[in-house]
A and B are shown apart, each in its own frame.
Chain A
Amino acid sequence: MQNSKWMGFVAGLLILLTVFSAVSVRVSADNLSSYSARRNSIVRDFESQKKHTVDVAVLGDSESYTSVDTMRLWQKRGIAAFVLGQPGAQVSEMARMVERIYDDQRPKVVLVETNMLFRKVNMVNGAENQFGQKISDIFPIFQNHDFWKALFIKGYEVQKYNGFRVLGRAFPDADVSGYMKPDRRVKAIPEFNQMMMARIVRTCQDGGSRVVLYSAPSTKNYSTAKHNALVRYAKELGVAYIDLNTRIGRTAIDWNTDTYDGGDHLNYYGAVKATDALAQELDAYRLPDHRQDQKYDYYGKLYRLYAGRVKRLDGQQKRV
């Protein structure tokens, strides 16, 4: 009798989990009020791209979508790029994301921003994350658990341009004297992240893509010790590495005007410089120029929206 009661309780729980999962997926599709919906929207936007049109996919955390200006790549070189970066992304999350890229796209280059490689995670946490992700696949309510916010917050919008966010504010970094100072140390990259990164490289190479690691300029997140670690790591992986901290971080980037939040992330003006430096490196991969290709008309439309946004920025740049 007791056993059948417990089984009844568990059955009811599974039914409710299924129902709420369906509701959460539906609500999150229509409303960006919840954090999970905003994360999912980037994946949905990417999946809505026309088949086999994306030449450069960018992975990473918030450093990625604040440093790669996809519309500038389009305007200057006709490169079709999409940033799949997510705030606070873990490497394991990007490893799962990259598997979805190859459903409908065949990017020639996959740029991986390296900040997430240093995110602290041990094998136990990593296994927990993996297990959690598997459970979320079965019951999406665990991924979309904050969907109820749609009841309270209406009309939330985040304008992204193929994943790139235009951030106008300038919040200076007052002290950059310690940034990228000479250092012989090598910062450790957690083993679990290395394992996940190897999976990303394997998936990309199987899909015919070249993997390029890059580090966005950031006084808060990068150091020479990390640079040393990444140079060594990229060699082990057999992939190219571009460190924009050494390339333009102390020269072209002005940490009074080009950072959104005191050196952590670039703002639009910093992103333009970072993107131009990256574009020079991407020339080596002979990416096609699609500006005359009718298949990419919607890039033109998106660019016009972006240009309007940038125009509103100029002259309104808010220094905090």
Chain B
Amino acid sequence: MAQLYLEFSGMIDVTMGTAEVLQIHLPENFRQPFFSRSASEFWRRWHITLGTWLKTYVFFPVSTSHLVVNANRKVRKKYGRQTAKVVTSFLALTPVWLFNGFWHGPKWNYIVYGLYYLAILMAEVMLEPVKKQFYAKTGYSPDRGFFKFLRWVRTLAIIVAGEIIFRANTVSAALLMMGNVFRGPSNVHALFAVSHLDSSDWLAVGFCLALVAIVDVCKEKGVHLFDWLDRLPTSVRWGLSYSLIFALIFLGAYGAGYRKVDMIYAKF
């Protein structure tokens, strides 16, 4: 998951940075997706351009078509507003998520990946009245304290499970991998053994993840990092720049004996 996020959003950041140098402002494609507290929020923050395209060219045309509008009217009349919402959501979201799956490639695991998120988002729609009632009766807030944390953890679990389906070569491999998650610490050991990374390599990985996490937290809190950097004294700004440049030089995996590994998203 970390590899996918760092590769994909990192590649986009390089593109955006290069464009900025040429005074071209490109839209953001990732908006701190791991701060999401629901699957629908995740897809508003992850691969934003794909989501926007699917919304504009699949979701809106389908949801405003005669078929769906008529179905909405008939179901609402007979079964009420909530049921109508569920039915029209299903009719509009199904082609969106099938398309999302096919976009990644003609493999069954990508189709299942799309259907997986369709199921999750439909569950969100169906459980919405139940959640509203719960928060109204208990007085708890979904955006504060324990429930905010719970929603975040739940969303992470949903994302990770989805990524297992996405990354597996086949559906059966995905099921096997999911089963192995619960098989105990020996699998963590195996992961470390297979990766051929030593303790200092893991230290480098941890450092880079921490750096990315700090930047993402700042952006989530609305801190404009470039403005903040501009306000620093020149010596501090230069020190930070040199530190980042040398972090790249020291921690990069390049040169003689290092094998180039294709980016996961390069094939899409």
Which residues of chain A have C-beta atoms less than 8 A from B203's C-beta?
Answer: 152
Cα distance, A93 to B257, chains bound together (Å): 9
B200 at the interface (CB under 8 A from A): yes
Q: Which residues of B contact A143 (CB under 8 A)?
A: 255-256
Identify which of residues 235-268 in chain B touch chain A, using a CB-to-CB cut-off of 8 Å. Answer: 238, 241-242, 245-246, 249-250, 252, 254-260
Q: Is the CB of B249 within 8 A of A93?
A: no
Residue pair B255, A132 in contact (C-beta under 8 Å): yes
Residue pair B255, A136 in contact (C-beta under 8 Å): yes
- Tally of contact residues, A, Cβ under 8 A: 28
Give chain B residues whose Cβ lies under 8 Å from the Cβ of A20: 246, 249
Please tell me which one of the listed residues A89, A132, A136, A153 contacts residue B199 in the complex, with CB atoms under 8 A apart: A153
Contacts of B256 in A (CB 8 A): 36, 39, 86, 88-90, 93, 143
Residue pair B252, A145 in contact (C-beta under 8 Å)? yes
Complex partner residue of B246 from A16, A87, A152, CB under 8 angstroms: A16
Q: A12-B238, A152-B199, A152-B200 are contacts. A88–B249 as well, Cβ < 8 Å?
A: no
B255 contacts A142, C-beta separation under 8 Å? yes
Residues of chain A with a CB closer than 8 A to B198's CB: 149, 153
Q: Which residues in A have their C-beta under 8 angstroms from that of B241?
A: 9
A148 CB-CB contact with B under 8 Å? yes
The proximity string for A residues 34-57 relative to B, scoring 1 for CB distances below 8 Å and 0 otherwise, is: 011001000000000000000000
Chain A residues touching B, majority SS:
helix
Chain B's nearest CB lies how many Å from the CB of A262? Answer: 14
Give A129's nearest chain B residue, CB to CB.
B256
Q: Do A149 and B200 contact each other (CB < 8 Å), given the known contacts A9-B238, A12-B238, A16-B242?
A: yes
Q: Whose C-beta in chain B lies nearest to the C-beta of A143?
A: B255
In contact, A88 and B200 (Cβ under 8 angstroms): no
B249/A142 in contact, CB under 8 A? yes
Contacts of A33 in B (CB 8 A): 200
Evaluate whether A145 and B250 lie within 8 angstroms (CB atoms) in the complex, with A9-B238, A12-B242, A13-B245 already known.
yes
- A88 near B257 with CB under 8 A, answer yes
What A residues does B200 contact at CB under 8 A?
33, 146, 148-149, 152-153
> Considering the chains assembled together, what is the distance between the CA atoms of A303 and B201 in angstroms?
35
Q: How far is the CA of A33 from the CA of B203 in the complex (A)?
A: 14
Interface check A266, CB cutoff 8 A: no
Interface hits, A125-155 → B, CB 8 Å: 125, 132, 136, 141-143, 145-146, 148-149, 152-153
- A86 x B257 contact (CB < 8 A): yes
In the complex, what residues of A have CB within 8 A of residue B234's CB?
A: 5
* Chain B residues in 8 Å Cβ range of A132: 254-255
**CB contact list, B126-159 vs A, under 8 A:** none
A92 to B255, CA, bound (A): 12
Bitwise, B208-240 to A at CB < 8 A (1) or not (0) is 000000000000000000000000001000100
Q: Mark B141-182, 1 if CB is under 8 A from A, else 0.
A: 000000000000000000000000000000000000000000
CB-based contact A88/B245 at 8 Å: no
Please, which residues of chain B bring their CB within 8 A of the CB of A87? 257
Query: CB distance B242 to A146 under 8 Å?
Result: no
Chain A residues 86 to 129 lying within 8 A of chain B, measured CB to CB, are 86-90, 93, 125
A173 to chain B, nearest CB (A): 19
Expressed in whole angstroms, the minimum distance between the Cβ of B52 and any Cβ of chain A is: 34
Minimal Cβ-Cβ distance residue in A for B239: A12
Q: Which 10 A-B pairs have the closest CB atoms?
A: A149-B200, A88-B257, A152-B200, A93-B256, A87-B257, A145-B249, A145-B250, A148-B250, A88-B259, A39-B257
Q: What are 7 sample pairs from A and B whose C-beta atoms fall under 8 A apart?
A: A13-B242, A16-B246, A39-B257, A86-B256, A86-B257, A145-B252, A153-B199
